[in-house]
Chain A
């Protein structure tokens, strides 16, 4: 990589997200995640996970929305980097991507505990594909073995291709049209906008600083590079709620006590 370091990030428009899940499937396909018919929400590997949350009301005033969660690529005091005993995860200086290296991971899962966004997943088993399905694996991404943690790496295989293409054409900078993560490419409503937050001219940078943009759990100071935006105040309020975009809850913690029977158990 060359020139000014990039800070790749996203702005996800929650008003456009319809919770279809295309980003989840595209991410799993791009990253060669094995189909796991026995998995549950606790054991599954979903580097991109869309959570359904509500405003806590019932009846005609109830509203739900969908929040795609993946690694936030925290810039400040990145929690997983601080706790890893193996240096299996690092913040890349050139791109800002928090790089998870399953090859170095020893599977202690300390990073999973440390991540405030529950965005890391453990491979409980070796990946198994039905006979012949391994021919459908994406060539840019190596498969992992059991016992290691994985997470979103911002489709770095696509960054590799973009970089290689630029080098072959004699350019030092990549063309951003060549580097679109699978989730952004898949979204049918174009809710996921990917860009370089270090580039002042990138429309994503402007969006990230717009009035309705916010980040999850901003108060803990991890400086995530994934921004969200919504016109609805109740959605923006979810970002700071006690349980945050908690893995198994579907509503702000304050309302959990009110109707415990409706909490979905993973």
Chain B
């Protein structure tokens, strides 16, 4: 009798812990944040004939990567409103006209001591954008940005799966993910190859 009760109560404890750990914890750990604008890649691809990622996310002359384009790039077309959306109105009125950079929240933001070179991975290793960034370039909505309350980095770094089991290749940008790919392709780099 007592043993049965002990087992039941113990099992209850385990169940609650598992529920808390697998369901409640991931929800509590991440805080959702809004991007300053509702940017749609698909709209830009269709309407303005910007078909190639490189048009906005380009390598500069010295080999550094422009990353998220500066406001200058957007102003190239949007110096005045050319559409009807609220997002564009915000862009033109709050950022382009006053000359402020849009404070995008960067999904792939790494700590300051990490050095990643797009030039080396794209040009030398021949990686395509989708291999690490998935098909985000074809999306018609801006991706949800979730920040880890403890570490301060985007959920995209750890990956969406909290257990990291059955993870898609482009889901996660931790050091172990970089190491995995390097091991697979047998490209050895020392610590300073990736760190500053």
Contact = CB atoms under 8 A, between A and B. Distances in A.
Interface string B104-121: 000000011101010110
A64 B180 CA distance: 54
Interface residues of B, number: 22
Nearest to B114: A142
Nearest to A168: B63
Contacts of A103: 113, 195
Given A157-B196, A169-B63, A163 B112 contact: no
B55 interface: no
Interface string A67-105: 000000000000000000000001011110101011110
A164 interface: yes
A230 interface: no
Contacts of B119: 164-165, 167-168
Contacts, number: 76
Interface residues of A, number: 31
Looking at chain B's contact residues, the main secondary structure is loop
B115 A93 contact: no
A168 B122 CA distance: 9
B63 A1 contact: no
B63 A99 contact: no
16 contacts: A92-B192, A92-B193, A99-B190, A99-B191, A102-B113, A140-B115, A141-B196, A142-B112, A142-B113, A143-B112, A160-B117, A164-B119, A165-B62, A167-B63, A168-B61, A168-B62
Given A157-B196, A161-B62, 12 more contacts: A1-B189, A97-B192, A102-B113, A103-B195, A157-B115, A160-B117, A160-B196, A161-B63, A164-B120, A165-B62, A167-B124, A168-B59
Closest 7 CB pairs of A and B: A168-B63, A92-B190, A142-B113, A164-B63, A168-B119, A165-B63, A167-B119
